[in-house]
Amino acid sequence: MTSSNKDIEIANIEQTLSALHEAKEGCTQIHASLFNLLMFAQNAAHADDLRSIINAIMSKFPCRVIIIQQTPTEAQPRIKIDVSSQIVKKIACDVITVDSAPEYIQRVPFILMPHLIPDLPLYLLWGSSPIVEDPILPYFLSIAKRIIFSFDSPPHDLPKVTRKLLDLQNSKPFLQVTDLAWTYITSWKLILQQIFDSPEEIKRLQTATSLRVHYNSQKGQGITNTENSAIYFVCWLATRLQWEIDSIDLAKGQFVFKYNKSLTVVTIEPKEDPERPPGTIVSLELSALDDYYYSISPIPNQSKVMVHISTLMICELPYTLSLPSLKKEFPYSKELLYTPLSDQYKQTLELIASL
């Protein structure tokens, strides 16, 4: 449930929010904030993608949400401000939305600074590439607790992007840096961990002959470069198994990774899957020594994958593992905000940066 006031004066932001709360007096609602969550999107399409994440976060953790959206230049460039109170499960969250023409974007931090709730952490959900010069990000970096990038960079830019992420992390000791492409592979990392859960299984994975990673290549409004999560996944796996990448070839839309000390050939292959968000991993196929074959594919209409393991002699009964649906609702709010940044993330960034 939302109630809002559109196009209000800058000076009236807090006053209007208070009026919205007062208007709801008598309703059984509680007004609460655990943190400030500031979202920036360079265009409306990307903003729509990020809003679904914001909504999922708000449904679990009440917060003050501030949305900055850059809108195309109109005949009369301007800054437009809306405020609203969004009620989720009887808890009301403030939402302040700023639509700004590019000409005025530099003013936005100065408008918003007074409206961050003091003493509560500031999380940034930043819909822009870290390598693009950003006129407003520096104002928030020094006061934020964590920044979560959502970028749509082409694969050939990934080394530059990841280097920039590492630099940012190293230069700001109080800031935690992460990105959505990493968060999107959380479930697949867990799936692999559950399947390969003994020294024998790990050995089999380490000496696999081929791994095929299918990703959803269907482009979205905000995401056009759909390979990035799959590349993260493959590079994460390489760091875990000490595979040293020898070459990466791109042919017929497929990325082929070859390794120095391993027989493994990893391919990242596009596969259109309207059931999943753009760029997410769809399924895995793995062939290993002794004719082991693993197929891990999603079960339609369920938040699960089916795992088939077979050899020439044995065909084990398939079993299921959890794969939360990213399409229905973003399931990683807790991971995004509260999970400490892991060494595995840093190692994956370092590997990609070195490519």
Partner 1 sequence: MLTPNFTNPLEDRTNTVRLPSPCIMVIFGATGDLTSRKLVPALYNLAYDNQLPAHFACVGFARRDKSNDQFREEMRSAIDSFSRNKPIDPNLWSTFREQIYYHRSEFHDDEGYISLRQFLQDLDRKYDTKGNRVFYLSTPPSYFPIIIEKLHQHQLIYPFVSNEHEPWSRTILEKPFGQDLGTAIELQNYISKFLHEEQTYRIDHYLGKETVQNLLVLRFANQMFESTWNNRYIDHIQITVSEEIGIGTRGHFFEEAGMLRDIVQNHMMQLLSLVAMDPPANLSAHAIHDEKVKVLQSIRPIPHADVDKYVIRGQYGRGFVNGAAVCGYREEKDVSPTSSVETFVALELYIDNWRWSGVPFYLRAGKRLPKRTTEIAIEYRPVPSGYLFQTSLSTVEPNVLVIRIQPDEGISFKMNCKVPGLSGSLQPVKMDFRYSSYFGLTPPEAYERLICDCMSGDNTLFARADELLASWKLLTPILEQWSKETIAFPNYQSGSWGPASAESLLERNGKRWRLL
Counting contacts by CB under 8 A, is residue 338 touching partner 1? yes
**What is 81-132 written as a DSSP string?**
EEEEEEEETTEEEEEEEEEE-GGGGGGHHHHHGGGSPTTS-EEEEEES-TTS
CB of 334 to partner 1, least distance (A): 5
Among 117, 241, 265, 355, binds partner 1 (CB under 8 A): 241
Residue 156 burial (10 A CB sphere; 0-12, 13-18, 19+): exposed
- Considering only 198, 274, 290, 314, the residue that binds partner 1 (CB under 8 A) is 198
d(CA 211, CA 264) in angstroms, rounded, equals 7
Interface mask toward partner 1 for 88-127; x: CB under 8 A = xxxx------------------------------------
Applying CB under 8 A, does 32 fall inside the site for partner 1?
yes
CA pseudo-torsion sign 277, 166, 254, 257 = negative
Q: How far apart are the first and last CA of the chain?
A: 47
Minimum CB–partner distance for residue 322 and partner 1 (Å): 4
**Interatomic CA distance for residues 36 and 116, integer angstroms:** 6
138-177 footprint of partner 1 as x/- string (CB under 8 A): ----------------------------------------
Q: How many CA atoms lie within 13 A of 102 on its CB side?
A: 7
Candidate residues 3, 59, 210, 325; the one interacting with partner 1 per rule CB under 8 A = 59
CB 130 within 8 A of CB 151: yes
Site string for partner 1, 278-297 (x = CB under 8 A): --------------------
Helices 228-241 & 343-353, crossing angle to 10 degrees?
A: 110
Using CB under 8 A as the binding rule, the residues of this chain from 62 to 91 that contact partner 1 are: 62, 88-91
Which residues contribute to the site for partner 1 (CB under 8 A)?
30, 32, 34, 59-62, 88-91, 186, 189-190, 192-194, 196-199, 202, 240-241, 301-304, 316-317, 319-322, 324, 334-335, 338-342, 344
